[in-house]
Chain A
């Protein structure tokens, strides 16, 4: 009937990310958690697809259509991501440590910086 826009994959994504990124089980669990953090706090504004996502739409105006989706962007350094996620920037507001802990933030940063090819496989 209606296609859910936000598809919560956290509970089935682990194995795919594990094989795709060639990391150990502990690391995979963190990435799995990171995917859930992404779904709860970022995806609604930053998923690929300029039209439906306010962050992606805004960055397509202020950066470029190529830089509009933030997942996979290697120019976003961990330091910059840390800063933006805590302090926010204009429309994008900061996130509290009660929402995203320091550990979760580090995992999220790794997740965002995973090359897109890997992510595309993980997304199937």
Chain B
């Protein structure tokens, strides 16, 4: 007997559905009574209590036929399913469902690396494949291809890409590198996108845009289908790799740094997405707040100076790399280096210059496709297991960067938190991430984090900045900010939802998209 039941279902009906699911996948792959097993699906780092997102059950199919059978049961009984792959979406909700009581559809068992094509440099994988696993596979087979992991190596290419995630090699924009999908729709239909729809085609993983409307994007950050296979491109190992780090002693040098980088980035220099991390981000992988300041409120300037000195870091710290033949790397670095050197007080570091610095090591490894977990050390800055990410998009102008940084910093300080953040500059976009760390055992900090987050969503929307992705607790709030022309975009998304999933069984509320029977009037 399950303890929790999905909204709108009686216990009897739900138990019947669970029994039928057991008949499909085997009873060891449905978790309903086992409370410890269910707790492993909680939204562990969130600002709301675990109970807000605990599932009623989890079901773990292996294979398309089993998923189809589960969909039939879910449609028959109106059971809401929440699909996860590796399920490590922490800072945005982990494996947990949008609402308590959903059944998690856990695809972790489907973890086959279906194909790695060494000549054309691509992979086709199932949902459960993790970055560590894919890395291991390529090492074992002697492949000369790199992966592009997100900072946490326990996540995976399929789930991460579907949430519009990113990494740190030149293949870091994961959506750009995605090519071909297999998707199961709510009614059980299996669809292959692009050239995958052509029987006997060898080009499923080589051509992303094809005949007819491009539909792959519809299945990302959405609840229109269950992705069971995804193709993506892998970077061939380059003949040379030249990572570097630059420290900037002054906070307002962010302005000039972004102004310098923009024209270079438009020409894809440096070759990967450059990261500008703030002082505390840098420090927290090797020190704690208490070692420098035990008072409340923002860390005072004197302590910041001490931190900078002790660890030879800047108020901003730029990480990026060049990839290719060494002489070419040097040639391309020269003009950028010259431009950066016009800024007073900067220091430049290369491979070998920061021996024993764990931050340099993990960033360098991420930039050359070696998965690791070191970035979690950020959570040790205050400890206590609270961490959610606020991730707004802004324009790569120095003034815009300064403005949006100050907006977050001031609000964070007002609510009693440090600014721990970074900017990632891509081709034309600048994404800021506030790593909001709090002590989850302290209810007042949890509430403050929650309120700060909501305030930031509003502040940013007023200035025309939206978030690229968000935590379960804030999906509705963020969706509501995209309200041009009377919410025309969300309305379109809802019409698609109603057409593709009329019973509203797939991940209700994902990204603020609700099925008709759960929709609140706007």
Q: Which chain B residues in 347-398 approach chain A with CB under 8 Å?
A: 351, 356, 358, 361-362, 364-365, 368, 370-377, 379-380, 383-385, 387
A73 is an interface residue with CB less than 8 A from chain B = no
Chain B residues near A88 (CB-CB < 8 A): 39-40, 42, 44
A123 is an interface residue with CB less than 8 A from chain B = no
Known interface pairs A88-B44, A90-B383; A2-B37 also in contact (CB < 8 Å): no
Known interface pairs A54-B380, A57-B380, A93-B94; A6-B372 also in contact (CB < 8 Å): yes
Chain A residues near B244 (CB-CB < 8 A): none
Query: Distance (Å) between the CB of A53 and the closest chain B CB?
Result: 7
B468 is an interface residue with CB less than 8 A from chain A = no
B405 is an interface residue with CB less than 8 A from chain A = no
A124 is an interface residue with CB less than 8 A from chain B = no
Known interface pairs A5-B365, A6-B153; A96-B132 also in contact (CB < 8 Å): no
List the one stretch of A24-32, A44-52, A111-119 in contact with chain B: A44-52
A93 vs B241: C-alpha distance when bound (angstroms): 34
Contact of A91 among B94, B153, B361, B379 (CB under 8 A): B379
A58 is an interface residue with CB less than 8 A from chain B = yes
The answer to whether B132 and A45 touch across the interface, beta carbons within 8 angstroms, is: no
A11 is an interface residue with CB less than 8 A from chain B = yes
The answer to whether B40 and A94 touch across the interface, beta carbons within 8 angstroms, is: yes
Known interface pairs A2-B364, A93-B90; A53-B132 also in contact (CB < 8 Å): no
Known interface pairs A5-B361, A44-B154; A94-B42 also in contact (CB < 8 Å): yes
Chain B residues near A51 (CB-CB < 8 A): 286, 356, 358
Chain A residues near B109 (CB-CB < 8 A): 98
Known interface pairs A2-B365, A51-B356; A87-B370 also in contact (CB < 8 Å): no
The answer to whether A40 and B132 touch across the interface, beta carbons within 8 angstroms, is: yes
Known interface pairs A6-B153, A61-B288; A87-B380 also in contact (CB < 8 Å): no
B3 is an interface residue with CB less than 8 A from chain A = no
A40 vs B372: C-alpha distance when bound (angstroms): 10
A88 vs B37: C-alpha distance when bound (angstroms): 11
Residue of B whose beta carbon sits closest to that of A2: B368
Chain B residues near A2 (CB-CB < 8 A): 241, 351, 364-365, 368, 370
A1 is an interface residue with CB less than 8 A from chain B = yes
Mask of B33-71 contacts with A, CB within 8 angstroms, 1/0:
000110111101100000000000010100000000000
The answer to whether B130 and A45 touch across the interface, beta carbons within 8 angstroms, is: no
The answer to whether A52 and B106 touch across the interface, beta carbons within 8 angstroms, is: no
The answer to whether B380 and A91 touch across the interface, beta carbons within 8 angstroms, is: yes
The number of chain B residues touching the other chain, given as a range, is 35 or more
Q: Which chain A residues in 62-104 approach chain B with CB under 8 Å?
A: 62, 83, 86-99
The answer to whether A57 and B377 touch across the interface, beta carbons within 8 angstroms, is: yes
Mask of B213-252 contacts with A, CB within 8 angstroms, 1/0:
0000000000000000000000000000100000000000
Mask of A1-12 contacts with B, CB within 8 angstroms, 1/0:
110111010110
A54 vs B381: C-alpha distance when bound (angstroms): 11
Contact of B130 among A40, A95, A96 (CB under 8 A): A40
A54 vs B36: C-alpha distance when bound (angstroms): 24
Chain A residues near B361 (CB-CB < 8 A): 5, 52
Chain B residues near A61 (CB-CB < 8 A): 288, 380, 383
Query: Distance (Å) between the CB of B260 and the closest chain A CB?
Result: 27
The number of chain A residues touching the other chain, given as a range, is 35 or more
A87 vs B44: C-alpha distance when bound (angstroms): 10
Contact of B37 among A6, A45, A86 (CB under 8 A): A86
A107 vs B404: C-alpha distance when bound (angstroms): 49
Query: Distance (Å) between the CB of A41 and the closest chain B CB?
Result: 7
The answer to whether A90 and B136 touch across the interface, beta carbons within 8 angstroms, is: no
B508 is an interface residue with CB less than 8 A from chain A = no
Query: Distance (Å) between the CB of A4 and the closest chain B CB?
Result: 5
Q: Which chain B residues in 89-132 approach chain A with CB under 8 Å?
A: 90, 94-95, 106, 108-109, 128, 130, 132
B140 is an interface residue with CB less than 8 A from chain A = yes
Chain B residues near A96 (CB-CB < 8 A): 37, 40-41, 58, 87, 95, 106, 108
The answer to whether B108 and A39 touch across the interface, beta carbons within 8 angstroms, is: no
B253 is an interface residue with CB less than 8 A from chain A = no
Chain A residues near B140 (CB-CB < 8 A): 8, 11
Contact of B241 among A1, A53, A90 (CB under 8 A): A1
Known interface pairs A40-B133, A96-B108; A54-B373 also in contact (CB < 8 Å): yes
Chain B residues near A11 (CB-CB < 8 A): 140
| 10 shortest interchain CB distances as A-B pairs | A44-B373, A90-B385, A94-B40, A54-B376, A98-B108, A93-B44, A54-B377, A52-B358, A51-B358, A8-B136
Interface residues of chain B, those whose CB is within 8 Å of chain A, are: 29, 31, 36-37, 39-42, 44-45, 58, 60, 87, 90, 94-95, 106, 108-109, 128, 130, 132-133, 135-136, 139-140, 153-154, 241, 286, 288, 351, 356, 358, 361-362, 364-365, 368, 370-377, 379-380, 383-385, 387, 440-441
Interface residues of chain A, those whose CB is within 8 Å of chain B, are: 1-2, 4-6, 8, 10-11, 39-41, 44-45, 51-55, 57-58, 61-62, 83, 86-99
Besides the contacts A87-B40, A88-B39, what 17 more A-B pairs have beta carbons closer than 8 Å? A6-B132, A39-B136, A40-B132, A44-B153, A44-B373, A52-B358, A57-B377, A58-B380, A61-B380, A62-B383, A88-B40, A90-B384, A92-B385, A94-B42, A96-B37, A96-B40, A98-B58
25 contacts between A and B (CB under 8 A): A5-B361, A6-B153, A40-B133, A44-B132, A44-B374, A45-B373, A45-B376, A52-B362, A52-B374, A54-B375, A58-B379, A58-B380, A86-B36, A87-B39, A87-B40, A90-B383, A90-B384, A90-B441, A91-B45, A91-B380, A92-B385, A93-B40, A94-B44, A96-B40, A99-B108
